[in-house]
Chains A and B, each alone.
Chain A
Amino acid sequence: MTFEALIFTFSILGISETVYLIKKRILSEKPVCPVNEDCTKVLSSKYNKLFLIPNDVLGLIFYIVCSLIAAFLVIIVQPLSLWYMLLSVLVFVGSVISMYFTYLQYNVIKAWCFWCLMSACTIWFMGVTILLNNILL
């Protein structure tokens, strides 16, 4: 239950982050940038889309799917092993893409976006949770 609760909590945090960014983008408003003022530089760069879909939308879909899978695991919707495998694959792919985006911020755009880093950390924490669950069980 702890595992599902953690995955679910991280997913909800991710949903709140991405919903905030989508709202700001639709309203053409600058997001609050607590660390520095580089968020807009990153969010408006040419790397803000993947396969023509804005990254915030992709992130929202990812987090919604992860939260639904966590809910299925809690409610015991069969087949549990398939849901668990799907979650592991999704989080692994998400972690790799987050590493790529973090590299882009560090080396290509040369600016940091607080919300992008927070989302990346959220996915990495999900990955660590899955790893620890595999090790401990």
Chain B
Amino acid sequence: MKTASYHILRVGMAITFIWIGILIIKSPESWGGYVQPWVTNFLPLPLEQIMIGTAIFDIVIGILFLVDWQVWVAGLLGALHLLSVLIVSGITDITVRDVGLLAATLVLMLDSLPIKLKFIRPITQRFS
């Protein structure tokens, strides 16, 4: 059985991911301003479209967290996404909070791993 702290973290992360997705849809060009100039040279699509795609991706991750379904997948995707954000934005005064969010997504992923992936579990439980 999952603990109350797990559910509080899960719902909190759901709110964060869905809300950020909505804010990016509102003004994708502003959020695109955080992307480092060197990254834009490698983008296959216009930055605005990439940001809209990112927003939808964030909302999907948030919904998975919210309905408590495939949380480990959402945690994995969220962690990879946040890692990519830290790479393309750099760690600034604003993006430093993503380090905490990255840690939270990893916690949710590791805490909701399915039995099929039990070979990872002993590694995570070794620290307890």
CA distance A71 to B23 in the complex (A): 9
A16, A74, A76: the one contacting B14 at CB < 8 Å is A16
Known contacts A5-B19, A12-B11, A13-B11: A75-B66 contact under CB 8 Å: no
Q: Which of chain B's residues have a CB closer than 8 A to the CB of A9?
A: 15, 19
B22 and A74: CB pair below 8 A?
A: yes
A75 with B68: CB separation less than 8 A: no
- Is the interface on chain A under 10, 10 to 19, 20 to 34, or 35 or more residues? 10 to 19
Q: Is B67 an interface residue (CB 8 A)?
A: yes
| A interface, over-half SS | helix
For B66, list chain A residues within 8 Å (CB): 12, 15-16, 19
The answer to whether A23 has its CB under 8 Å from any CB of chain B is yes
- B121 near A: Cβ within 8 Å? no
For window 22-56 of B, CB contacts with A under 8 Å fall at 22-23, 25-26
Residues from chain A with Cβ under 8 Å of B15 in the complex: 8-9, 12-13
Which residues 70-109 in A have Cβ within 8 Å of B in the complex?
71, 74-76
| Chain A residue at minimum C-beta to C-beta distance from B8 | A16
Cβ of B18 under 8 Å from chain A: yes
| Shortest CB distance B19–A (Å) | 6
Q: Which of A8, A15, A16, A19 contacts B19 (CB 8 A)?
A: A8
Q: B residues within 8 A CB of A19?
A: 66-68
User: Is B67 touching A74 in the complex (CB atoms < 8 A)?
Assistant: no
- Given A16-B66, A19-B66, check contact A76 B11 (CB 8 Å): no
In the bound complex, how far is the Cα of B21 from the Cα of A74, in angstroms? 11
Closest residue on chain A to residue B68 by CB atoms: A19
Nearest CB in chain A to that of B23: its residue: A74
Mark out the residues of chain A between 44 and 86 whose CB falls within 8 Å of any chain B CB in the assembled complex. Answer: 67, 71, 74-76
What chain A residues lie within 8 Å of B7 (beta carbons)?
16
**Within 8 Å CB of B14, what residues of A?**
12, 16
Residue of A nearest to B21 (CB): A71
User: Which of chain B's residues has its CB closest to A12's CB?
Assistant: B15
Q: Which residue of B lies closest to A17 (CB)?
A: B11
Measured in the bound complex, the distance between the Cα atoms of B66 and A13 in whole Å is 9
The smallest beta-carbon distance between B31 and chain A, in angstroms, is 13
CB pair A74–B11 under 8 Å, yes or no, is no
Contacts of A15 in B (CB 8 A): 66-67
Residues of A within 8 A of B (CB): 5, 8-9, 12-13, 15-16, 19-20, 23, 67, 71, 74-76
